[in-house]
A = this chain, B = another copy of it.
Amino acid sequence: MAISVDTFFLELNGQGTLQAQIQQMIAEGILSGRFHVGEKLPSSRKLAAHLGVSRITVTLAYTELLANDYLTAKGRSGYFVSQNAPVPPKYTPVQRGTETVDWDAALARRFSGGDVLAKPADWRSYRYPFIYGQADQSLFDHANWRLCAVRALGHKEFDTLTADYVDQDDPLLVEFIARHTLPRRGIAARPEEILITMGAQNALWLASQILLTRNRTAVIEDPCYYALRSLLDPWDCNVTALPVDSDGLPPDALPDGTDVIFTTPSHQCPTTATMPVERRTKLLERARDLDAIVVEDDYEFEMAFLGAPSPALKSMDRDGRVIYVGSFSKSIFPGLRLGYMVGSEPFIREARALRSLVLRHPPGHIQRTTAYFLSLGHYDAQIRRMSKALAQRREALDTAIEEHGLTVAGRGIMGGSSLWMSAPDHVDTTQLAHTLQGQSVHIEPGASFFAGLDKPKNFYRLGYSSIRQDRIDPGVKLIADAIRAS
């Protein structure tokens, strides 16, 4: 590739002669790794015109660089970055002076430092990846996804692909969700009650911004999805973490003054508990008494291979009190960043306006691709294939756990893609995970899921959506051995 003339600028008030400045500019480009070996430099005529200097100045600079072996000349075809020029391994631009801004003072708010789950970048090379929530190449219908994506790239789709919709969603995707996805959860919704989001995270964040403020109180489950806790900044609202039991969130324990309840009734995250219908009724009654809004995160409902999924909490909602959050992260793949929320029109209107301020709308192409993948039936076929594989892996995992004497703390009765596990009290699973890494085993320490400073350390999660069935038993054995050795 030729180096564009546009990348050359003379410094205002540059030091030294023009020729020296040009030499330095090129040498810096090479030394910093910005120009690569073999890349062609602009002709002296072009560069001279661009910089507004005489051509001879550029030629002299090139000749000097040639002598120093930064450049080579190939007859009439021009100057190229030399094979022998020193090249650093990676591009690290020269730092231009010391920065003087006091960022401690300039940053009005900080968002870094929340709980995260450390995930090794190379987890796919692990022999025993009990990782959660990543796509499995062997189960994903790559071929049909590709066909749908290509169809959505067609000339006829130019507008869907390229246009700035400001705050609108792809009507095809919204219609499919309304007609086919939501009815499976017992939910009836009009398009004005549906918003496409950048995954469930985006939906939860939108809900938190719209429903909460400094004098309002949110209740979250404890343990819960750590990224939900991170987005409820105690600076912005009061947050109460309510311990869950084996049936999920206990409605009787919801404190007076609760304004917003974040819950995962179908499949509590991370304990996998399913809330029984009686408790759901009670939860809605208690929410009505509190005049609170319920945000239902219905992640992973598709993975119900051990029994029919119970209808969503939203399906029982007569007041318009429940905001429903769905996602394609688990059922298609997380890198898609696509989800949706369903709620009353006044709420969705604000969510749409806020989304428009923050990012306008999810890219048209991924919305249309997903709409095709859903409407052509590939999605259902993929869910069936995933469910079958997950059922087999779950059986292998249940057997191995019994065989090797591990303790299950929570096991989804409908299915799911993970088990919530406990080790003996003295075991710190963060340490355990670190030890197991050396044996090519990945497990997820549970501490990040708990609120407060004194987090239980002996829980962990075993995901089975990305591990081969035949690796499950030996992997579980390694975990059991490591726990015994702790």
Contact = CB atoms under 8 A, between A and B. Distances in A.
A134 B338 CA distance: 24
Contact of A155 (B142, B164, B309): B142
A226 to B, nearest CB: 11
Interface stretch (A68-76, A208-216, A393-401, A434-442): A208-216
B9 A161 contact: no
Interface stretch (A240-248, A357-365, A409-417): A357-365
B106 A211 contact: yes
Most B CB contacts (10 A, CB to CB) among A111, A155, A175, A209 go to: A111
B1 A333 contact: no
Contact of A149 (B149, B338, B375, B380): B149
A355 to B, nearest CB: 9
Contacts of A89: none
Interface residues of A, number: 125
A110 B350 contact: yes
Given A50-B308, A109-B210, A34 B360 contact: no
Nearest to A288: B100
A289 B355 CA distance: 36
Given A190-B92, A211-B106, A308-B6, A357 B163 contact: no
Interface stretch (A196-204, A424-432, A454-462, A476-484): A196-204
A278 B336 CA distance: 46
Contacts of A231: 357-358
A403 interface: no
Contacts of A97: 318
- Chain B CB count within 10 A is highest, among A29, A91, A320, A363, for A363
Interface stretch (A16-24, A57-65, A264-272, A341-349): A341-349
A381 interface: no
Q: Which of A91, A111, A335, A377 has the most CB of B within 10 A?
A: A335
A184 B4 contact: yes
Contact of A107 (B163, B198, B210, B357): B210
A140 to B, nearest CB: 7
Given A210-B108, A346-B107, A359-B199, A116 B166 contact: yes
A453 interface: no
A189 interface: yes
A15 interface: no
Identify the interface centre among A7, A106, A213, A315: most chain B CB within 10 Å of its CB.
A106
A160 B212 CA distance: 35
Residue from A92, A179, A315 having most chain B Cβ neighbours under 10 A: A179
A164 B103 contact: no
A186 interface: yes
A38 interface: no
A432 to B, nearest CB: 22
B159 A140 contact: no
Contacts of A175: 91
Contacts of A101: 291, 293, 319-321, 344
Interface in A303-346: 308-309, 311, 315-316, 318-321, 329, 333-338, 344, 346
8 contacts: A9-B315, A29-B183, A93-B188, A102-B291, A107-B210, A135-B163, A137-B155, A165-B335
Given A149-B150, A149-B365, 11 more contacts: A12-B281, A91-B191, A104-B346, A107-B350, A134-B164, A162-B333, A164-B335, A227-B356, A227-B357, A231-B358, A359-B359
The 5 closest A-B pairs by CB, nearest first: A99-B320, A164-B334, A162-B333, A93-B188, A112-B353
